[in-house]
Structure 1
Amino acid sequence: MLRQTSLGTLGLSVGGVLFLAGLVAYVTDNPTLNLAGFFYGVPLLLGGLALKASELTPVPFTKPTSKDILELREQQATATQNQIRLDVTRYRYGQDAHLDSSLSSLGLSPTDEERPVLTGLHETAIAGAYALVLEFESPLIPLEIWEQKREKIEGFFGPGVRVTVTQPAEERVDVALIATS
């Protein structure tokens, strides 16, 4: 549940309420409540603003995951597949994009402007094996470069993972991480 909660919004909400309570206490001449409201409210409000400014929202699932696929995930998913799924579906702070360091390591992000953007993901079965499909918006990196890097992607996200790269639409690339165990 906390993975789907924005700490920035939480900080802004709690800090705002405490700050307003302190402001009301100041107007009504209640020094104890005034001090507590300002002492706790202002830092929480500023912290919430800072988190909100550096917030990276979770990547949505583009297709619902069926019970069969959930069972397959429990049986076959690698630790890396689970880590990627959990990392990209929660709020992140202080990063430019999901998987930005991974894409840089793979040579798929020469500059921030050229970096593919993870726009969605879904889980499926491919030939009876669990697959986590990462959906990238990739207008500046063509499919040919993704295909050249396929073995490197396998090595990076492996062991126990086979990778396929497809282009379902123009400027979009799907990277399927398929469990092999």
Structure 2
Amino acid sequence: MLRRISLALVGLVVGGVLTIVGFAAYFLNYSTLNLIGFFYGIPLLLGGLALKASELEPVPLMEPTPPAVLDLRQAQATPTQTQILKDVTRFRYGQQAHLDISLGHLGLSPTDDERPILRGVRETEVDGAYTLVLNFESLLVPFETWKTKQEKMTTFFGPNVKVKLDSPEPDRVEVALIATPEPTPEKV
């Protein structure tokens, strides 16, 4: 819940209210409220503006996650899948794009202008395994380049993750991170 609330918006609202109260108190000669407005309101307002300037909004879920897939997530999701889902579905600050460092490490982001943009995520099931699907808009990195990086992606997002790539439409690439849980040893 809290990760879906913009800290920038909180700073702007609280800072704005305190600043207005401070100015009103100044003109009405209420010195204590005046100090609160100036010493807390203005810095909060400026902090909210700074956060807003560096804010990266959460990526939307492309479709609601079915309850069966939620259960599968609880049982099979790897720490990497869980962390990616948490990171891309919350407000981020000071980043250019979601997964920008990962894309750079994988060689899929030669420059900031060529970087694929994450447009949505969805959770699904593939052959009984929990799958997190990342949908990228890839205008300048062709699908063939993504295919050459598939093995590197499997290593990068592993262990216990298999990567499957798909291009459902031109300039779109779907990266499916499929959990491959280790089989539990059978008791004798």
Q: Name the TM-score class by shorter chain.
A: over 0.9
Q: Deviations over 1:41-76 (max 9, x none)?
A: 000000000000000000000011000000000011
Q: Counterparts in 2 of 1:30-109, with a 5 A limit?
A: 30-109=30-109
Paired position in structure 2 for 1:120: 120
Q: In structure 2, what is the Cα distance between the partners aligned to 1:119 and 1:173?
A: 10
Deviation at 1:2, TM superposition (A): 1.1
Q: Deviations over 1:79-138 (max 9, x none)?
A: 000000000000000000000000000000000000000000000001111000000000
Q: Deviations over 1:3-61 (max 9, x none)?
A: 00000000000000000000110110111110111110000000000000000000000
1:105 counterpart letter in structure 2: H
1:45 counterpart letter in structure 2: L
Aligned with 1:168: secondary structure? coil
Q: Deviations over 1:143-175 (max 9, x none)?
A: 111010000001000000000000001100000
Aligned with 2:141: secondary structure? coil
Q: In structure 1, what is the Cα distance between the partners aligned to 2:41 and 2:142?
A: 49
RMSD: 0.4
1:54 counterpart letter in structure 2: S
Q: Does 1:129 align with 2:122?
A: no
Q: In structure 1, what is the Cα distance between the partners aligned to 2:125 and 2:175?
A: 14
1:128 counterpart letter in structure 2: G
Q: In structure 2, what is the Cα distance between the partners aligned to 1:170 and 1:118?
A: 15
Q: In structure 1, what is the Cα distance between the partners aligned to 2:32 and 2:114?
A: 54
Paired position in structure 2 for 1:163: 163
Q: How does the TM-score come out when normalised to structure 2?
A: 0.96
Q: In structure 2, what is the Cα distance between the partners aligned to 1:71 and 1:55?
A: 32
Instruction: List gaps (5 residues or longer) in structure 1.
Output: none
Identity, % of aligned positions? 62
Instruction: List gaps (5 residues or longer) in structure 2.
Output: 182-188
Q: In structure 2, what is the Cα distance between the partners aligned to 1:35 and 1:78?
A: 51
2:14 counterpart letter in structure 1: V
